Chain A
Amino acid sequence: MKVLVAVKRVIDYNVKVRVKPDQSDVDLANVKMALNPFCEIAVEEAVRLKEQGIADEVVVVSIGPKAVQEQLRTALALGADRAIHVEHDSMPDSLSVAKLLKGVVEKEQPQLVILGKQSIDSDNNQAGQMLGALTDMPQGTFASKVSLADGSVEVTREVDGGLQTVKLQLPAIVTTDLRLNEPRYAKLPDIMKAKRKPLETLSADDLGVTISSNIKLLKVEPPAERSAGVKVADVDELIDKLKNEAKVL
């Protein structure tokens, strides 16, 4: 069985973002970039499926400028077999990403596609679901457990009230929640080996997709500042302040 994993290059999750003075976007110049944490979990799950003998090939794909090859190499070092880079000079919106991924799905014919549930930059939480609709595949979003058997996959999903389990016919799409697994670290020999693994570059034209978006980013601003308040000495003072000053008790 072939597993396709989509990964995204994003700002490192520890970085405190700065908005550009002209409010056009956040400033990503000279900022540490990394694999989106949810994508890392997706790669880990695919590699585990391979280690269990369920998957025989893990293909990773990323869309964006040349720099995303760095994250593809990371995924290869974590255990993916080969990589596809869909080159585009910027990061397209979710619908375009889903259309490009549909092109890759048609080319590669995977049985399972794993994505992160959301990227920590745009916080959209859309691409996996959109890909599901475009390819008419069922989806198991926000997965905390995945088990495959007899041409189907059971996905335990994290929902607002607790957990929900659904059964999906393959080929299917899974998007990962944080609790699905704990990603491994790439070891140096694996990082060296990853440099020799195949990496294919495609363009949007190769996949027959025109990238466009009707959603325009007009402005980006910092959120309203919340300033530090006061320190209280003890529980009595805290209760007094909450009752008489903040009036929330």
Chain B
Amino acid sequence: MSILVIAEHDNQALNPATLKTLAAAEQIGSDITLLVAGESCQSVADEAANVAVVKRVLLADNAAYGHQLAENLGALVAQLAKQGDYSHILAPATTTGKNFMPRVAALLDVGQVSDIITVESEDTFKRPIYAGNAIATVQSGDAIKVITVRATAFDAVAAQGGSAAVDAVDAVQSSDKSSFVGEQLAASERPELTAAEVVISGGRGMQNGDNFKLLEAVADKLGAAVGASRAAVDAGFVPNDMQVGQTGKIVAPQLYIAVGISGAIQHLAGMKDSKVIVAINKDEDAPIFQVADYGLVADLFDVLPALESKL
């Protein structure tokens, strides 16, 4: 059993989701190769070589992989899979992983198992379906198992202690059918939403974008990331990359504080595996109270300033 894991990174550092995907890989087998594909990303490969569970690092450093375009990255991974003798290919179920991995699967003529939350055996996995309202156990009979991993369901492997060899990959897959135009990334000083230990989220009850400052003040006291429900995003209060839910990000922090969020199925899908859930809502019948460990029925405009001053 030989496993290829595709690293998620920004050409400078490994994304924590990679260490969690490696944890899933380690439960399948120990012969783990990590592919770092990007542009000017030697530092990522060096960091990857230090990860204890990684036996070998492949470095594909080329402008074609700079923005992880699915056409190029998908073709590269499929090519490596055909050349190597890999039984499993894993990537984190981030927007990048979700984008290129199904292309890899189709090029290899195999199915894909998306967003796994547990490894039962080398060919059997559990994954949530219907917005997390059911858990499916699936078995893949494909020769190469293409899998994306829900990072929040696994604990990161140690980032230190290894000394893997770094081999350069010369193959270049560059499609002229797609090109990168630009990006607008939301700047934030706070921890990354999917990796944060504490998340505080606001919903429609926040009433407008300015009121999110109240949440941010509490978040700063807690060292928390700030999230939002779809209602808050659709109303234009905050940008969409803050959305937690089936269609947004999946988080599982130690503490999740839902403020002015009713608790629709689609939102719960993104946060109900949090260790402790706190709901602050003035509607005592809001569905969020059915999953909250601690509920406070009160006006958030009274509660948030009080929390800020008392924390």
Contact = CB atoms under 8 A, between A and B. Distances in A.
A150 interface: no
A242 B289 contact: no
B177 to A, nearest CB: 4
Contact of A231 (B101, B241, B296): B296
B63 interface: no
Contacts of B239: 162
22 contacts: A120-B246, A123-B128, A123-B130, A129-B74, A133-B102, A139-B178, A159-B95, A159-B183, A164-B182, A165-B182, A168-B177, A178-B230, A215-B141, A220-B137, A223-B133, A223-B272, A226-B291, A229-B295, A235-B303, A246-B255, A246-B294, A248-B275
Given A159-B95, A160-B249, 9 more contacts: A94-B111, A121-B129, A130-B102, A162-B183, A177-B247, A214-B140, A218-B139, A230-B293, A246-B293
A207 B288 CA distance: 47
Contacts of B71: 132, 138-139
Contacts of B110: 95, 214
B177 A169 contact: yes
B290 interface: yes
Given A121-B129, A166-B178, A220-B129, A19 B134 contact: yes
Contacts of B290: 228
Nearest to A233: B296
Given A218-B124, A223-B132, A232-B294, A138 B177 contact: yes
Interface string B257-275: 0000000011000001001
B240 A179 contact: yes
B179 A94 contact: no
Nearest to A125: B98
Top-6 shortest CB links A-B? A129-B102, A229-B293, A133-B106, A130-B106, A138-B178, A214-B141
Interface residues of B, number: 90
A196 B33 CA distance: 57
Interface string A225-249: 0101111101110110110001011
A2 interface: no
SS of A interface (majority): mixed
Interface residues of A, number: 79
B131 interface: yes
Contacts of A215: 111, 113, 138-142
A207 B189 CA distance: 53
A87 interface: no
Instruction: Kindly name the residue among A16, A123, A168 whose own CB sees the greatest number of chain B CB atoms within 10 A.
Output: A123
Interface string B149-182: 0000000000000000000000000011111111
B282 interface: no
B136 interface: yes
Interface string B179-207: 11111111000000010001000000000
Contacts of A126: 102, 105, 112, 114
Interface in B65-80: 67, 69-71, 74
Nearest to A128: B102
Contacts of B106: 95, 98, 129-134
B297 interface: yes
Interface string B268-311: 00001001111000001000011111111110000100110011
A165 B139 CA distance: 36
B264 to A, nearest CB: 9
Nearest to A136: B177
Contact of A123 (B100, B112, B114, B310): B114
B87 interface: no
A90 interface: no
